[in-house]
Amino acid sequence: MKPMTAGVTKAGDGIEGITWNILGQVYVPKQLCESSFSWHATLPPGTFVPPHIHPTQEEFIYMLEGRLDLVLDGKESFAEAGDTIRLPRGIPHGLFNHSDANVKCVFWVAPTQRLYDLFWGIHNLGPGADPAEVVALSAQHEVDFLPPPDAK
C-alpha cells in the first residue's frame, strides 16, 4: 500500500476518481494509507449496513446530514448531524436509515486492513446481490456479519 500523500481531496471527488456503489449506497474514498482509510457515504432511505464486527479495526462515523439508527453491542441508539459514532473493534454494530431522506456521513477506520479491497469486491453487486456471497467475501476481508436474529 502506498504511503499517504499530502493534499486536498475536493468535495464530491474520490481518490483516483473512485466512486463505489455498495449495495445501493454511494461510497467515495477520501484518504487511504496503511494506518487509516476514510470515505464519504450517502445512504438512501431504507438502506442499511447489517450487524457485523470488525475484529481488527476501530471504526468511526461523523454525521453530516440526516439520522442513522444503530444497534451497538445489542443496544439501540441513533445519531444525527454533528454526532460522531465510535465503533470499537470486536463490538457488533449495524446501521439503518429508517428516514425518508438521505444520510450523509464520513466513515473512517484504523488501521485500513482489507476494507478498501472489500469495497472493490462488492462494488456494483446491486440490491439483488446474494447475501451469502457478500457475507463470505466480507469474512475474507476481516468483516464478520452476524446471522439475522431469527437464524439464531
Q: What is the DSSP code string of 49-106? A: EEEEE-TT-EEEEEEEESEEEEEETTEEEEEETT-EEEE-TT--EEEE--SSS-EEEE
Distance CA 43, CA 47 (A): 6
Indicate yes or no: pTM above 0.85. yes
**Assigned domain for 103 exists:** yes
**Assigned domain for 73 exists:** yes
Closest CA to 46 of 27, 74, 66: 66
Q: For residue 152, what is the DSSP state?
A: -
Distance CA 145, CA 135 (A): 6
**Assigned domain for 42 exists:** yes
Task: List the pLDDT tens digit at each of the 152 positions of the chain.
Answer: 888 889 999 998 999 999 999 988 999 999 999 999 999 999 999 999 999 999 999 999 999 999 999 999 999 999 999 999 999 999 999 999 999 999 999 999 999 999 999 999 888 886 677 888 888 888 889 899 887 655 44
**Assigned domain for 11 exists:** no
Range of the domain at 115: 20-144
Distance CA 36, CA 113 (A): 8
Cell numbers at 11, concatenated: 468535495
Cell numbers at 53, concatenated: 464486527
Q: What is the CATH number of the domain that holds 127?
A: 2.60.120.10
Number of domains in the chain: 1
**Assigned domain for 149 exists:** no
H helices, E strands: number in the chain:
2, 11
**Assigned domain for 107 exists:** yes
**Assigned domain for 2 exists:** no
Distance CA 110, CA 60 (A): 9
**Assigned domain for 80 exists:** yes
